């Protein structure tokens, strides 16, 4: 059974939550909002490119408007395969934690 690493899961959830406007800035904000680790834009791009190479997300470059400065934006969205693996990962986590007693006061002794 193919599952995502926790880091890939966090990235893909962020892309899914941002939706159609998923480019680096809102994806980083979504990761931060959800309590994920702080990433640089560069490391985010590398990770998103790796997910794209694996066929889990698709990226689309939008040409910048003429006369405007700045970089062209790259937008990301989940592929059908990415959605399937993300759902499988969520189901696995849910099953894994189902029935685990409250660990708040667990001492390990």
Task: Check residue 58 and give its pLDDT.
Answer: 97
Q: How many CB atoms lie within 10 A of CB 39?
A: 20
- Mean pLDDT estimate for the chain: 90
Q: What is the pTM of this model?
A: 0.84
By CB neighbour count within 10 A (0-12 exposed, 13-18 middle, 19+ buried), where does 41 fall?
exposed
Architecture of the CATH domain 6-64+71-92 = Orthogonal Bundle (1.10)
Residue 16: pLDDT band with limits 50, 70, 90: very high
Note the pLDDT tens digit of each residue in 46-97: 999 999 999 999 999 987 766 566 778 899 999 999 999 999 999 999 999 9
Say which residue, 37 or 80, is predicted with more confidence: 80
């Amino acid at each position: 059974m193919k599952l995502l690493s926790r880091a890939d899961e966090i990235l893909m959830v962020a892309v899914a939550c941002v939706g159609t406007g998923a480019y680096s800035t809102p994806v980083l904000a979504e990761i931060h909002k959800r309590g994920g680790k702080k990433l640089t834009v560069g490391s985010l791009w590398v990770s998103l490119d790796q997910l794209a190479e694996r066929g889990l997300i698709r990226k689309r470059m939008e040409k910048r408007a003429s006369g405007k400065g700045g970089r062209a934006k790259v937008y990301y969205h989940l592929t059908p395969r990415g959605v399937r693996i993300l759902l499988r990962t969520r189901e696995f986590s849910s099953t894994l934690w189902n029935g685990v007693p409250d660990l708040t006061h667990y001492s390990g002794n």
